[in-house]
Amino acid sequence: MSDASLPAGSHGHRLGVLEATAFWMFVILIGLVAGFTLISPNFVFLSVNNLFTIALNTAQLALLAAGMTFLLGARQMDLSVGSNVVLASVLAGKTITALAGTPDEVAMGDYPNLALAIAAGTAVAFLSGALFGAVNGVLVTRFRLSSFLVTLATTAIGLGMALVITHGANVPDIPRALQTGFAVRRVLGGVPMPVVIVAGVLAVLWFVLAKTRFGAHTLAIGSSPEAARRAGIPVDRHVLSLFVLMGCLSAAAAMLDISRFATTNISGHQTDALQAIAASVIGGTSLFGGVASMSGTVIGALIPVVLATGLVIMRVDAFYQLIVVGIIVIVAVAIDQKNRQRMSR
């Protein structure tokens, strides 16, 4: 956050609160890992393969949560990310299967134009995601509509478009080379390639949020849009760019999704927005804007995945993770509100 966006003395206070929130969430995460390690058979929870599986499962959520962190930092939100992921994955899948070969070749698992098809499908996914985000951004900035209501509406529109395109069925015959050549490929001594790529993306986004003028403007807008305008920040253009960024990250999550499972998941992703918001808030990002932590968001994304993995190992219904995550979010929001009241005194 830029110093100009805060009253004197409040900058250090907010940063201290933010660091404290991320610290305690990290303590909770370490506690979960230690607890599941001790009670899991033969300490299997801490095995290398299980840790890599956790990292891979976290990667997709972390991409969405990172985009949500920017939006929440600017006092906006996007409830349509799940529909954006579904639509982008459907369009990418359709493009790949259409260009990879003839219908008969594709049905037989033969893809003579595989490289071209994957490149085109990836481009279509990112174009779809960016356009979806841009539509949200234009409706919010040009028509002065609430991002909550706009993205609630585009959630239905995006999912409806995906269902119309596919007639309600998942896209079949997506090349398994996406799995073997990317999703399950190991690099750097056995780390899944998607984890390495997502880690790089998150590092760049952390730098942008914490160290650049773009990040400072994002948090200044979240602290006070009117003050940001008076300071010369192009608020509408900046907010629009944040929604486009969210769309691009949704497209990246869509490509990761179809590469892992070699199919689309039309009936899934309904809770993606909730999980992304939860990860951001758990990590210390404020629902009321002006405060955001990318490192905290990564911790917040890890917590539900660690919970689900540990519960599965212990043969406990993983649906209990939803209850626990919901409780943690309530606690995080309550802490956020108390911190804001303390800083306003």
Q: Among 235-239, 246-250, 291-295, whose mean pLDDT is lowest?
A: 291-295
More confident residue, 296 or 335: 296
More confident residue, 23 or 312: 312
pLDDT at 246: 98
Give the pLDDT confidence of 133-164 residue by residue, as tens digits.
999 999 999 999 999 999 999 999 999 999 99
pLDDT at 320: 78
89, 92, 93, 95 alpha-carbon torsion, rounded to 10°: 160
Alpha helix ranges (H) inside 100-192: 103-107, 114-142, 147-166, 177-178
Going by C-alpha positions, the residue among 300, 287, 301 that lies closest to residue 340 is 287
More confident residue, 342 or 131: 131
Going by C-alpha positions, the residue among 120, 110, 165 that lies closest to residue 255 is 120
Q: Tell me the whole-structure pTM to 2 decimals.
A: 0.91
Mean pLDDT calculated for residue range 270-292: 91
Mean pLDDT calculated for residue range 201-224: 97
Percent of the chain exceeding pLDDT 90 equals 71
What's the chain's Rg over C-alpha atoms? 21
Which of the four pLDDT bands, split at 50, 70 and 90, describes residue 344? low
Give the pLDDT confidence of 23-68 residue by residue, as tens digits.
778 888 999 999 999 999 889 999 988 998 899 999 999 999 999 9
Q: Which two tokens stand for residue 149?
A: 């209501």
The C-alpha atoms of residue 301 and residue 195 are separated, in whole angstroms, by 13
Residue 186, phi-psi category: left (phi > 0), alpha (psi -120 to 50), beta (remainder)? beta
Tallying the residues shown for the chain, one arrives at 345
Residue 232, phi-psi category: left (phi > 0), alpha (psi -120 to 50), beta (remainder)? left
pLDDT at 316: 81
More confident residue, 298 or 317: 298
